[in-house]
Amino acid sequence: MRTTTIGDVKVLLPDLEPDDLDTMTDLTGGLTEALVEGAAWHGSHLEDVRISSSLVTGVDLSESTWEAGSLYGCEVNRTDFSGVILTGVTIERCAITGSRFTGTRLTDVRLKDVLFDGCRFDYATFHRVTAAGSVAFTDCTLTYGAWSSCRLPRIALRSCDLSGLELDSCQLDGTDLRGSRLHGIKTPLDNLRGVTLAEDQLPDLTQLTVAALDLAVRTD
């Protein structure tokens, strides 16, 4: 069993041996214990597809749709999810690194023991995304995205760029935001109730509070 700890969040990760996996490129019917490198799945339509215990590297899934199904016990590296529509998919015990989710739409997606490391989520939308267990984002770009009706308590968003991110009716109680860039984040203050910040983030929070309360700040 392999784990990593991000702040106070301990994430259970897959423990795969490439030599034990079978090389595959056909996604039909899902994948189990597969080694996939450089596959071109652009524009695919996936319905109830399950990928488990697999190592996926350099795959192009851009502009695809994935309804239901799951990603379980997988390592995903440098994979392009740009413009993908994910609906009702469960992602569990996965490490996803260096991957691109630009403009991706996640709806009713369930996350449990997932690490996103060095990924781009610029202009991505999360709607009713829930954390059923430990979830961590590290060194990720989430600029100009939109999260609505998400339930993501006690996750870690460490050293991420949140500039321009819009939050609406989200539960982030206990979430660790230390080291993340908050300048320009757009949210009612209630969405940040109970989060953990570092002292050097307080000026950004002050600016957000002034804007949210429409305060007049004068020097005389």
Mean pLDDT score across all residues of the chain = 93
Across 185-192, average pLDDT: 87
Provide the pLDDT for residue 146: 97
CA 160 – CA 108 distance, rounded (Å): 23
DSSP category for residue 211: H
For residue 86, report the phi and psi dihedrals to the nearest 5 degrees. Answer: -105, 120
* 4, 75 contact by CB (below 8 A): no
Provide the pLDDT for residue 200: 84
Question: pLDDT tens, 47-59?
Answer: 999 999 999 999 9
Does the structure show a pLDDT above 80 at 187? yes
First to last CA, the chain: 61
Question: pLDDT tens, 3-13?
Answer: 999 988 999 99
Across 93-112, average pLDDT: 98
Does the structure show a pLDDT above 90 at 219? no
For residue 35, report the phi and psi dihedrals to the nearest 5 degrees. Answer: -110, 115
Residue-by-residue DSSP string for 14-58? ----GGGSEE----TT-EESEEEES-B-TT-EEES-EEES-EEES
Highest mean pLDDT among 16-20, 101-105, 195-199 belongs to 101-105
For residue 169, report the phi and psi dihedrals to the nearest 5 degrees. Answer: 55, 45
Work out the pLDDT band at 216, boundaries 50, 70, 90: confident
Provide the pLDDT for residue 189: 85
CA 34 – CA 45 distance, rounded (Å): 20
Question: pLDDT tens, 149-174?
Answer: 999 999 999 999 999 999 999 999 99
Q: Which three-class secondary structure string do you get for 47-105?
A: ECCEEECCEEECCECCCCEEECCEEECCEEECCECCCCEEECCEEEEEEEECCECCCCE
Does the structure show a pLDDT above 80 at 91? yes
Across 97-112, average pLDDT: 98
The ranges assigned to domains in the chain are 2-21+86-197
Does the structure show a pLDDT above 70 at 1? no
CA 60 – CA 43 distance, rounded (Å): 9
Regarding beta strands 90-97 and 110-117, do their DSSP bridges make them parallel or antiparallel, or are they unpaired?
Answer: parallel
